[in-house]
């Protein structure tokens, strides 16, 4: 029983940093996936609670289409065009939502898998950078909107139903800032983990 087992501990500064990076990467991966799910929920909630505004928006679109089109084409064709326009707008928004969700979910899941030792390609880090840029742009957009609200500048009428009110904008801003921090941490730690692994030429530090 006199054996000293302290030598089995792996507490050199590099290993400690490596473990910290892995766990941070895992946490940010979960955060990214959580944000993806939240985006979908938020859109569904907005659609539900602002249904009348959205209906009015499509009415405005229909009036614009009627104004633009030649009346000699006939009422049926004009109505069909209106419906197709509505479908196109909805389809574009659904596609954008799905792409956003899938991208964030893929990036988050890849980060988690990388953190537990499974090898992942660099592409998810590239997507993480894209998401980071998009979030920074969102913050810029929100800041601009705050400026508009402060100046009393009115927006185009047809965009009015989609324009969030002040509280919506504050909430969106906070979430965008959170997402920026998550993505930054994820990118930094993903690179660190890849560099460490190349040095150790192995999987997770748990194996050492």
Partner 1 sequence: MNGDFHYYATYCTAILAGYSHEEACDICYSAQFVDLCSRTFLSSVNGPKAAATTQLSAELVEQKTDFLGLQEITRIWASFHFLPYDLHAEKKRCSRAYRNKYRMICNSNGALLADTVNLAKDKSLQAVGIAMHITADTWAHKYFAGTPSMAINNTDNHFFEIMPEEDGYKVRPLKFSHNPGAKDDIENAVYVNSLYQTSENTVMNLGHGRAGHLPDYSFIRYKYLPAWGDYKEILKDNPSDYIHAFAQLVYAMQYLRGEHESFELNRYAWETIEPYRDEIEAILEKRQLSDSDDWKALGEKLSGCEIPDFDLEKYKEEYKKAPKEEKGYTFLGKFFLGALAQKSMVTGKIYRSGNPLAGVSIDYEKNGVGAVKDYLKLFEYSYGGNQNE
Q: Could you list the residues that contact partner 1 (CB under 8 A)?
A: 1, 3, 5-6, 8-11, 16, 19-20, 23, 206
In angstroms, give the least distance from the CB of 138 to partner 1: 27
User: With contact defined as beta carbons under 8 Å apart, do 65 and 78 qualify?
Assistant: yes
Largest CA distance in the chain: 100
Looking at the Cβ atoms of 14 and 130, the one nearer to partner 1 is 14
Residue 206 Cβ vs partner 1, minimum distance, rounded to whole Å? 5
Which tokens hold the place of 77?
């064709």
Closest to partner 1 by CB, 7 vs 154, is 7
Least Cβ distance, residue 19 to partner 1 (angstroms): 4
**Cβ 181 to partner 1 shortest distance, Å:** 19
* Pairwise CA distance, residues 159 & 161, whole Å: 6
Least distance CB 8 / partner 1 (angstroms)? 5
190: left (phi over 0), alpha (psi -120 to 50) or beta: alpha
Q: Which is nearer to partner 1, 11 or 67 (CB)?
A: 11
In whole angstroms, how close is the CB of 17 to partner 1 at the nearest point? 8
Q: Tokens at residue 50, please?
A: 């602002």
> 189, exposed or middle or buried, with CB in 10 Å at 0-12, 13-18, 19+?
buried
Q: Is the dihedral of CA 70, 72, 73, 74 positive or negative?
A: positive
Q: Cβ of 77: how many Cβ atoms within 10 Å?
A: 12
In this complex, which beta carbon is closest to partner 1, that of residue 19 or of residue 42? 19
Closest CA to 143 of 182, 185, 186, 172: 172
Which one, 6 or 70, has the nearer CB to partner 1?
Answer: 6
If the CB atoms of residues 2 and 157 are measured against partner 1, the closer one turns out to be 2
Structure tokens at 47: 């659609």
């Amino acid at each position: 029983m006199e054996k000293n087992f302290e030598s089995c501990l792996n507490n050199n500064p590099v290993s400690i940093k490596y473990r910290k990076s892995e766990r941070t990467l895992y946490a940010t991966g979960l955060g990214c996936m959580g944000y993806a799910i939240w985006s979908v929920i938020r859109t569904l909630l907005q659609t539900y609670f602002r249904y009348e505004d959205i209906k009015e928006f499509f009415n405005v679109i229909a009036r614009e289409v009627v104004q633009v089109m030649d009346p000699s084409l006939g009422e049926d064709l004009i109505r069909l065009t209106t419906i197709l326009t509505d479908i196109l707008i909805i389809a574009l928004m659904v596609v954008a939502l799905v792409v956003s969700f899938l991208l964030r979910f893929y990036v988050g899941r890849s980060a988690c898998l990388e953190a537990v030792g499974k090898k992942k390609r660099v592409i998810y880090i590239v997507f993480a950078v894209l998401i980071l840029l998009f979030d920074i742009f969102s913050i810029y957009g929100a800041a601009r909107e705050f400026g508009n609200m402060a100046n009393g500048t009115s927006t185009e009428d047809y965009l009015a139903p989609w324009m969030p009110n002040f509280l919506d904008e504050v909430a969106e801003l906070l979430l965008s800032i959170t997402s920026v921090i998550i993505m930054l941490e994820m990118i930094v730690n993903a690179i660190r983990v890849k560099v460490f692994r190349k040095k150790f030429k192995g999987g997770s530090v748990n194996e050492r």
